[in-house]
Structure 1
Amino acid sequence: MSQSHEKGLLYGLDARIGPVPAFFAALQHVLASVVGIITPPLIIGSLLGLQAYIPYLISMSLLVSGLGTFIQARRFAGIGAGMICLQGTSFAFLGVILSGGLMVKARGGSPEEIMAMLFGCNMVAAFIPILLSRCVKQLRKVLTPVVTGTVITLIGISLIKVSITDWAGGHNAQDFGAPGNLALGALTLLVIVALNRSRNRWARLVAVVVGITVGCIAAALTGHLQLKPAVETAWLVMPSFFKFGFNFDWTLFVPIALVSVIAVIEAVGDLTANCMLSQQPIVGPQFQQRLEGGIMADGISCMLAAIFSAFPNTTFAQNNGVIQMTGVASRYVGMVLGLMLALLGIFPAIGSLLQQIPPPVLGGATIVMFGSVVAAGIRVMTQTPLGRREMLIVAISFGIGLGVEAVPDVLKQFPVLITNLFGHAVTTGGILAILLNIILPTEQGTLPLAEGETVKEQ
């Protein structure tokens, strides 16, 4: 194995990596993200009555995630961040897409008409991150380390909630919180931690894979894993351009467009954390180029998703935790990861097997990864000293953002659009952090710079 000269990393960003370690490193990213990629199409398909098309929607979600991830890692003609930035189906769009789909359904629209409208609006909205990628320099004046660090931390905290839910047995599990579920998650976590702290780099490289494997074996022995026969579907699924047609409605488009702007804010936070974990600069022209390319690739991924009948993509934060755990930041792993996800989409039988990993095992495996996202956010946030002004921004953003997510009924008197947009900690907290950063005057004697540094007034 080639040595990385970067402290704390087995393989640096541009380090060449052999096919076997690249496969295992990429597999851990797949295991950390595959459920998150396929869950939105499952929810949307079930609630909008699209059951007949759910297998196709899942396949296309995996395919587009693979294509987008490859573009991010490969970085061609300034498109892509040139890092392991896994693209996955965004949960942020879930509420507005469901609202739009139900609106079309209430008009008497067929499943095909619902999807034609949704994918048409998503296609137009994909131009928003592409356009905003050309304004990164201006965005950086607003998205200071305090703002981006707050967003990253809120993303991590929101993910931890998902991880703990899985650890306890998963949503609507009859044995939710049972000691057996908690023990399975704990066993998986202990194996991952033990291997991660080993001095053997192979042990660290395969820690998540081995941890999940041990967890699955224990689940099978205790009756928590019962393999279900694969759903009858084609072994090979080929994508089609605008399979359900193309339609557009301004009423549906506006909320989707607003969420697209919010998704860019999240992407900036995720890309900043990725740069830091990959030991790349988080200030200066190189960082700005990575942000421009990463946000542009986000838009391209959303465009591909609309073309191939998948829902909007975004950069997944949980995979930053995998980089932290494995010490592998090589972008060549990102290319392998993209190819693996694309193959899972084309050959759905493989993906259906991964879907059967017990939730407690996944919860135990992801809890430390999502915790790493929180830690990364705190590190970004504290790049510069936190004065009274910065502490106030963080306090209000965290307090209201997490409060709204903990007590969602606080917004129940507002229109559905408001509830969908601001019912999540990342959205509410992120927007508050931006507004407060603009409104609150800086402390006397300092002037904030675009990169978050400060200089004394002359």
Structure 2
Amino acid sequence: MPPESSSSSDLIYGLDDRPKPLPALLAALQHVLAAFVGIITPPLIIGSTLGLTAHLPYLISMALMVSGVGTFIQARRPFGIGAGMICLQGTSFAFLGAILSAGFLVKQRGGSPEDIMAMIVGVCFFGAAVQIVLSRLIGQLRRVITPLVTGIVITLIGISLIKVGITDLGGGFNAPDFGAPINLALGVFVVLTIIVLNRSNTPWVRLSAIIIGLALGSLAAWLSGKLVPQALPDLPLISMPIPFRFGFNFDWSAFLPIALIYLISSIETVGDLTANCMIARQPISGPSYISRLKGGVLGDGVSCMIAATFSAFPNTTFAQNNGVIQLTGVASRYVGLYIGVLLFCLGLFPLIGAVLQQIPKPVLGGATLVMFGSVAAAGVRILAQAPLDRRSMLIIATSFGVGLGIAAQPGLLHLMPALVQNLFDSAITSGGLTAIVLCLLLPEARATCAAANHVPESDTLESL
């Protein structure tokens, strides 16, 4: 029988209840299933786009391993680091655009794959330090980064990433058969599969839609001859984490966009933690709530710093796992310890990454197209929750105009200093900074301000 201490009748296990090992392990497996694709997809995209193919198995292993460590810290809450809840840490899609820009910056300078990783590691490491500092300023940040700003930035992130997804669907960058009918057919097949599965009334079919779509797409690619399984590389059985394996480098023009995303990611984490508190029947106001928010954002920052140290990409608290808590009725933070151990164990085996690396790009593109579209949709949803008065519409219009306009014509800034070009040629940074500046400069009506204080915090990008 479930413990008597559950805080609500719809929770089988409350936050501080200790399930027996078997039910705890089963609940943990469901969380891992819901998050697995979200954790490994960003390394796959970054590695294939920037030419890091030789290092992909290691990058995927580190992504899983660091996600496990971060999730364990969030649940265990050592020294006040972490929220003390099931806060599954996974690789964030929000950073993809900025990381790819940093990678291309090094590539244009003639840098090797190792040089690219050294730059990414350096800027992400210091960006994590920014988030750690921001965790102490949560109250002030929520006044500056409003749902309006967050919605604008998230929408711009989704729109910017859609280009990556549709390029993969066509066959990948510079593919000789780009746009071939077989590529388009495979991509569309995966998209339709995910749509159909997401319309199912069975919750776990919906949660597994992307995994099933990738599996069926890979099977179709194999039957059509598009996927020819390659011999697995000679990899060690166990992948041991090596601090700063590829070196360490830093560039201000690559760092500033990353720092802005860390700012937005911190606000998103606040929204996810608030939703988690509601599901787990914990207070959503008062000192204990603020302490949990500060610990959770601090846990995100520490997780990101660990990720950069071991050549993984920035982490964030995954939103879809709040749905798993609600679905299973298991809110026990001790399940988070099991999740962390499972992810860490999966990351020990680099052969997992080598197998996943063989997924054809059109298949991966079909899945990521839906995922990136969901990012933009999440941003629109947040904007719809904000009061859309004349001031808000002006900020949205100007931010989208600047961000998408510069992204469409990056040559517009070619006569500006290199720092300005590298900072503002991204739709995310140019549009996001425009939104922040306009929100600070344009006065807000009192009634609107009062209404904005009741707007729900944003979902994270991994809400699919």
Cα deviation for residue 341 of structure 1 reads: 4.5
CA contact (8 A) 2:74 2:299 kept: yes
2:43 is aligned to 37
CA separation in 2, counterparts of 1:19 and 1:66?
14
Please tell me the residue identity of whatever aligns with 1:137.
G
Count of equivalent residues: 437
Residues 1:397 and 2:399 are matched in the alignment: yes
Please tell me the residue identity of whatever aligns with 1:26.
V
Cα deviation for residue 237 of structure 1 reads: 1.9
Please tell me the residue identity of whatever aligns with 1:148.
T
1:267 is aligned to 265
CA contact (8 A) 2:190 2:363 kept: yes
TM-score (structure 2 length as normaliser): 0.76
CA separation in 2, counterparts of 1:73 and 1:421?
36
Residues 33-54 of structure 1, C-alpha deviations (whole Å, 9 max, x = no match) = 41312444566675xxxx9877
TM-score (structure 1 length as normaliser): 0.77
Cα deviation for residue 386 of structure 1 reads: 0.9
CA separation in 2, counterparts of 1:167 and 1:439?
42
CA separation in 1, counterparts of 2:407 and 2:115?
33
Which one of the candidate residues 226, 230, 233 is aligned to 2:232?
230
CA separation in 1, counterparts of 2:187 and 2:235?
31
Query: 1:122/1:145 Cα in 2 relative to 1: closer, same or farther (>3 Å)?
Result: closer
Which one of the candidate residues 23, 29, 32 is aligned to 1:26?
32
Residues 316-342 of structure 1, C-alpha deviations (whole Å, 9 max, x = no match) = 8xx647877998697778766654543
Residues 186-206 of structure 1, C-alpha deviations (whole Å, 9 max, x = no match) = 322333333332223343343
CA separation in 1, counterparts of 2:9 and 2:173?
41
Cα deviation for residue 230 of structure 1 reads: 1.4
CA separation in 1, counterparts of 2:114 and 2:185?
44
Which one of the candidate residues 292, 295, 303 is aligned to 1:293?
295
Residues 334-388 of structure 1, C-alpha deviations (whole Å, 9 max, x = no match) = 7666545433432111111012122222233333333333232222223232110
Cα deviation for residue 305 of structure 1 reads: 3.0
CA separation in 2, counterparts of 1:217 and 1:433?
44
Query: 1:408/1:344 Cα in 2 relative to 1: closer, same or farther (>3 Å)?
Result: farther
Query: 1:375/1:118 Cα in 2 relative to 1: closer, same or farther (>3 Å)?
Result: closer
CA separation in 1, counterparts of 2:59 and 2:208?
30
CA contact (8 A) 2:60 2:353 kept: no
Instruction: Name the Cα RMSD after superposition.
Output: 4.4
Please tell me the residue identity of whatever aligns with 1:23.
L
- In the TM superposition, 1:149-164 aligns within 5 A as 149-164=151-166
Q: Which moved more, 1:326-335 or 1:126-135?
A: 326-335
CA contact (8 A) 2:270 2:297 kept: no
2:373 is aligned to 371
CA separation in 2, counterparts of 1:312 and 1:114?
13
- In the TM superposition, 1:170-319 aligns within 5 A as 170-242=172-244, 252=250, 254-255=252-253, 257-268=255-266, 270-271=268-269, 274=272, 280=278, 291-308=293-310, 310=311, 312-315=313-316
CA separation in 2, counterparts of 1:397 and 1:160?
18
SS in 1 for 2:385: coil
CA separation in 2, counterparts of 1:277 and 1:218?
39
SS in 2 for 1:86: strand
Query: 1:263/1:58 Cα in 2 relative to 1: closer, same or farther (>3 Å)?
Result: same
Query: 1:161/1:335 Cα in 2 relative to 1: closer, same or farther (>3 Å)?
Result: farther
CA separation in 1, counterparts of 2:144 and 2:41?
33
Query: 1:95/1:431 Cα in 2 relative to 1: closer, same or farther (>3 Å)?
Result: same
CA contact (8 A) 2:102 2:119 kept: no
1:384 is aligned to 386
Please tell me the residue identity of whatever aligns with 1:227.
P
Unaligned 5+ segments in structure 2 are 3-7, 456-464
Cα deviation for residue 394 of structure 1 reads: 0.9
SS in 2 for 1:204: helix
SS in 2 for 1:382: helix
Query: 1:129/1:14 Cα in 2 relative to 1: closer, same or farther (>3 Å)?
Result: same
Please tell me the residue identity of whatever aligns with 1:216.
S
CA separation in 2, counterparts of 1:378 and 1:290?
28
Unaligned 5+ segments in structure 1 are none
Cα deviation for residue 395 of structure 1 reads: 0.9
Aligned-pair identity in percent equals 43
